[in-house]
Structure 1
Amino acid sequence: MTLSDGAWLDEIYPIYAEIQSLKDELESSLTIEQVRNEYSKLIAEEDSKLDSLTVQKRKLEVEIRLPNTVRQNPIPIKPLPKQPDKKSLQKLPSTSTVTPTDKEKSERKKSGTEARDKLKKLVNRFYRFKLDASVLGQINRIADDVDRPLGEALALLDWSIFENYACTSAGDSSKLNLLNEWAKELQEYCSYLSGEVDLQKFRYRDYLGIWELWRNREKSPEHLQEWQTFIAETKQAKQDAIAKLKQEILELEAKIAQLKAARTQAGEVL
């Protein structure tokens, strides 16, 4: 993207604003892991009982289906083949070669060095930017690390800084080129953040509804009640499932006892 100094602000501000929104959303979404852990602890007792009873029920179902001869002479279960450890995998010779993608990545890092150096000089030279010392430190660290997107550093700057710099770039091709380089970096960082947010939501898709209830619980007594009601109803549903499994296990055990009694009467050796 190549923009004039005036068009630069109009085109890039929506991207800059979206970056700020995505940063907030990503930071907020990082609490989903916390919510999942908290939720799991609240229902851990019920889940443990359900898992144990489910395994017990499946064993009984298998016992009913198995022929009597198999019960007498069970086929030994072969252990799974041992997986190679990480150290042995690291010793394997690599079959990969340098790909164009690797070269392109290296070239991008090299070409971005100039923009990184210029950003560092600008933020460290101009006191009028009035950057907080911690923000300045973050920008310098990001600019020094070629593996981190430069857009991450640019997004830490207040929008007024871009406005002031764009206003002084009229007729200055070097400044305009730098602005266009920044525009590219901001766009790439925006795409990166969007992907990270989508990844978080996909990874924890089963907990998004729970997360919303958890986040809202501090907004009002009504929201807190919704959260507490949800947990209570979830625990009750699991307790109902536990009771159902216990009853099914009793029925299976009774059926197995009947089968054994019938075979004994028929002269079968159980």
Structure 2
Amino acid sequence: MGLFTTRVSDAAYVLKWVAGTDAGDAHGTHIEPGMPRTAGRRIGVLSRQVGGAIDSAQQQALDQLAARLADAGAELVEVELPSEIPGGIAYALTLMAVEAAMIHGDLVDRTPGRVSQAMIALVEQGRSIPAPDYARIRAQQVQMAQRFNEWLTGTVALDALLVAPATGEAPRGLDYTGDASFCAPWTFLGVPAVTVPVGFGPSGLPLGVQLVGAVHGDQALLALADWVEQHTGWPAARAARLREMVRGRI
């Protein structure tokens, strides 16, 4: 599940109401509600982004925030992900196709004229994938999540990763919603991720950065993101952008 909120503290507030422990749910993640008072500040910076290349404005946004966080007392460490983790992008797309066929297949069959061509194509793709392939990827999903968690909390001993949420600014128009390759691996692994805005790109659209935490570490990640949010410079950047809009410069 994902949330869009005005600030990190709002996301923590929602978590208080939607997360918790249910002894009757064998598959529950058992995330305790609320936000801890303190958070670790040892943050990893990837030597290569998991989704591929990013534009210069996005890279500058990451570099500038990393420098601000270091000045504020965080420990920034350059790391490289375990080699199998980027493969989660392809696995996530396969799972999405199969599950789209399971969930929306009946709708496509009954009313194809009321379903987008993109969804129809996704359902057809999902139906073409053999069940053993789906089961194999689900098994790999569990193994990769455990491998990532051991690497993050043990091998490199990080509180979070600081990564790009996208290649850069959002694309213009409504025909394309952007590249999900920078978010799909974390969704596939089932780990929490938070994106906070940091400024604007050359086209005047917002840029953000993404923090990724350990499995079931939602509280700790929100606490860290709340601290990071205080050092993004976003309020000043947003105010300057609003002044430009009022003055008719765009």
Name the TM-score, length of structure 1 as normaliser. Answer: 0.21
Q: Which structure has the larger Rg over C-alpha atoms?
A: 1
Of Structure 1 and Structure 2, the greater strand share is in 2
Of Structure 1 and Structure 2, the greater helix share is in 1
Higher RCO (C-alpha 8 Å, min separation 6)? 1
Name the TM-score, length of structure 2 as normaliser. Answer: 0.23
